[in-house]
Amino acid sequence: MQPSPTSPAGRLLREWRAARGMSQLDLAHAAGTTPRHVSFVETGRANPSPAMLHRLANVLDMPLRDRNGLLQAAGYAPAFAESRLDAAAMAQVKRALDFLLRAHMPYPALVLNKVWDLVAANPSGERLLSRLGAGADKRTETPNLLRQFLAPGPQREMVVDWPNMARSMLRRLRNELLHRPDEDRRRLLEEVSAYPGVPASWAAGDEPDPLPVLTIAFEVNGRRSTWFSTVTTLGTPQDVTLQELSIESFFPADDATETAVRELVAG
């Protein structure tokens, strides 16, 4: 019987190798194997062991969700759990996330998943979103910040320099998609890029940011506040859910916001 010209696991490896710009020789040397073996894995002529798949996935820096998919495509069980944050095994990490959110008070801080759904927020973050009218997305029953601020509506109108913010949000999502290819991210990028008033060049990243750090200014009832943010991720996640979380911490970007911040977030 003729060997299969490809295999599900081999196709995934080839796609990720292309996404990383690596040749079979590059991947083989970095993973401690031979180009011939990599070629045979990609074409289905060799059945790789779980250990080899882990080595190849490590070199390709594949997200945990995709590593599970690679293992399953090769006929093995997934290696990484995908747990709810309220699961008993997540108690210590949940405590750490709560600590970081509390420690950032009185400034807003949000926990987002890979497609910018709101997972958690500190009281200041909740109050800021409430003032901006950022409510639950009808499809997911939770606020999605990308949809909220890119779609036509009151949230878009509250952003002082909406085009600059929208360009940067789209560029960030595009960069996340390039580094962590993901079908959910791809669909979200396609959706928000098609919103009215969003030129195709914004999603393509053709225009550089004019400032060293993006600031976002909101104007609500004649009061303006200007912020910049930092993004924190867990350094050594071994769970799919945890790897896909990020903490967005907001800081005042000018003296006026610094002075008024406690009043702004006090509700």
Single-letter code of the amino acid located at 139: R
Residues 6+ apart with CB under 8 A from 123: 105, 265
pLDDT over 70 at 165, yes or no: yes
Whole-angstrom distance, CA of residue 30 vs CA of residue 56: 8
Does the fold of domain 88-265 match that of domain 8-73?
no
Mean pLDDT of 145-174: 91
pLDDT per residue as tens digits for the range 39-68 = 999 999 999 999 999 999 999 999 999 999
Whole-angstrom distance, CA of residue 177 vs CA of residue 204: 12
Whether the bond between 106 and the residue before it is cis, its omega within 30 degrees of 0, is yes
CA distances from 10 to 21, 24, 118 (A): 16, 12, 35
Single-letter code of the amino acid located at 22: M
Domain boundary assignment for the chain:
8-73, 88-265
Structure-block tokens of residue 15: 């796609």
pLDDT bucket at 2, cuts 50 / 70 / 90: very low
- Given CATH 3.40.190.10, say whether it is the number of domain 8-73: no
pLDDT of 3 = 38
The number of angstroms, rounded, from the C-alpha of 117 to the middle of its chain's C-alpha atoms is 10
Most confident of 53-57, 131-135, 169-173: 53-57
Percentage above 70 pLDDT, the chain? 89
pLDDT over 70 at 5, yes or no: no
Structure-block tokens of residue 206: 């053709």
Spatial CA neighbour of 31 closest among 5, 44, 13, 6: 13
Whole-angstrom distance, CA of residue 53 vs CA of residue 76: 10
Architecture of domain 88-265: 2-Layer Sandwich (3.30)
pLDDT of 202 = 77
Reported for 96-99, long-range contacts at CB under 8 A and 24+ positions apart, including other chains, are 97/245, 97/247
pLDDT bucket at 263, cuts 50 / 70 / 90: low
Exposure b/e, 103-132, CB count within 10 A at least 16 = b: ebeebbbbbbbbbbbbbbbbbbbbbbbebb
pLDDT over 90 at 125, yes or no: yes
Whole-angstrom distance, CA of residue 125 vs CA of residue 127: 5
Contact between 72 and 78 (Cβ < 8 Å): yes
Contact between 108 and 125 (Cβ < 8 Å): yes
Note the residue count of the chain: 267
DSSP letters, 108-125, are -EEEE-TT-BEEEE-HHH
pLDDT of 210 = 56
Q: What's phi and psi for 220, nearest 5 deg?
A: -125, 120
Mean pLDDT of 143-158: 91
Whole-angstrom distance, CA of residue 16 vs CA of residue 74: 15
Mean pLDDT of 11-31: 95
pLDDT bucket at 200, cuts 50 / 70 / 90: confident
Residues 6+ apart with CB under 8 A from 116: 144, 145, 146, 147, 173, 188
pLDDT of 208 = 60
